[in-house]
Amino acid sequence: MVEQQRDFEDEESSSKKLYIFRHGKSDWEARFASDHERPLATRGQYAAENMGKHLARIKQLPELVLCSSSVRTKETLALAMESGGWKAQVKYCRELYLASVEETLELIQKQDDAIQKLMIVAHEPMCSSLIAELAMGANVKFPTASVARLSFKADSWRDAKADRGRLDWLLTPKVLFK
């Protein structure tokens, strides 16, 4: 696939980049007290590790990660960061667990404008709905452990609003790691 060969270096250094990372496949057979505590399946661990390595290889690493507080999102992020050697600042956000698009946008808009590359690690259906909201109705299928990058011609995260983003790419484990 052509996308695998491209170098995804930023064309516009002044623009904001938002990465949306859906957690890996979860283990429905595991014992867990609540949905919030559900861990990753082996397949989800593998996909998270490989996505982390791939993002490092194509030089698409966030400066700051806002991660849902659920077990599966935290595991996804930890595996991706470790396998890819990421050095991002991480904030775990209980409010991202089952967050609406509006709540997630509010969180994004509150971030420090010195941050150019921000990542959200969260859940469906919010991930695909957020892409649709920000990128003029882009209708994407967003499988587990997928990552999308949106760009905003903006100096402030306050300008991350409906229809102001551009969907640059969507990477899925199925396409990348057959």
- Classify residue 81: in a domain, yes or no: yes
119 has which bridge partners?
19, 65
- Classify residue 65: in a domain, yes or no: yes
- Classify residue 5: in a domain, yes or no: no
Q: Band the pLDDT of 175: cuts 50, 70, 90.
A: confident
| Nearest-10 crossing angle of helices 101-109, 126-134 | 60
Rounded to 10 degrees, the C-alpha dihedral 163/166/172/175 comes to 130
In this predicted model, what pLDDT tens digit does every residue of 30-66 receive, in sequence order?
877 788 989 999 999 999 999 999 999 999 999 999 9
Q: How far apart are CA 123 and CA 35, in angstroms?
A: 12
Q: Identify whether the C-beta of residue 145 lies closer than 8 Å to the C-beta of residue 51.
A: yes
Number of domains the chain contains: 1
Q: How far apart are CA 147 and CA 168, in angstroms?
A: 11
- Classify residue 128: in a domain, yes or no: yes
pLDDT > 60? residue 21: yes
Name the nearest CA neighbour of 49 among 13, 75, 18, 69: 75
Q: Report which DSSP code applies to 37.
A: G
CATH of residue 28's domain is 3.40.50.1240
Q: Which domain holds residue 83?
A: 12-176
Q: What single-letter amino acid sits at 50?
A: N
